[in-house]
Amino acid sequence: MNRFIYTILMYLSLPFAVLRILIKDSKNKSWKQKLKNQLGYVNNLQGKVIWIHCVSVGEFNAAKPLIDQLLKKYPSHKLVITTTTITGADATKSHYQNRVIHYFFPFDLPFIVGSFINKINPITCILLETEIWPNLINSLNKKAIPVVLINARLSEQSFDKYQRFSSKLVEKTINQFTFIGSQNNPSRERFLSLGASPDKVIMVGNLKFDSHEKINSALDEEIRLIVGKRDIIVFASTRNGEENQIIQSYNNLKEKFDALLFIIPRHPERFDEVFNMVSKTGLKVARRSENLQCSNMDVLIGDSMGEMMAYYKFCHIAFIGGSLSNTGGQNMLEAASASKPIIFGPSIHNFEEVAKSLLKRNAAIQVGNSDELMQTISELLLDKKRQLILGKNAKSTYEKNQGSINKVIELITPVIES
Q: How far apart are CA 270 and CA 281, in angstroms?
A: 17
Q: How far apart are CA 272 and CA 285, in angstroms?
A: 12
From residue 318, give the alpha-carbon distance in Å to each of 250, 374, 401. Answer: 15, 12, 20
Burial class (CB in 10 A: 0-12, 13-18, 19+), 19: exposed
Neighbouring C-beta atoms of residue 34, cutoff 10 Å: 20
The closest alpha carbon to 73, from 321, 416, 340, belongs to 416
* Chain centre to alpha carbon of residue 288: 22
Assess contact for 341 and 373: CB atoms under 8 A: no
Assess contact for 254 and 338: CB atoms under 8 A: no
> Distance between the two ends of the chain, CA-based, in angstroms?
34
Q: How far apart are CA 172 and CA 177, in angstroms?
A: 10
The closest alpha carbon to 149, from 49, 140, 93, belongs to 140
Backbone angles phi, psi at 2, to 5 degrees: -105, 180
b/e burial code for range 314-336 (CB count within 10 A of at least 16 → b): bbbbbbbbbbbbebbbbbbbbbb
Specify whether 352 is catalytic.
no
Q: Please identify which of the residues 59, 242, 307, 334 carries the catalytic annotation.
A: 59
Residues involved in catalysis = 59
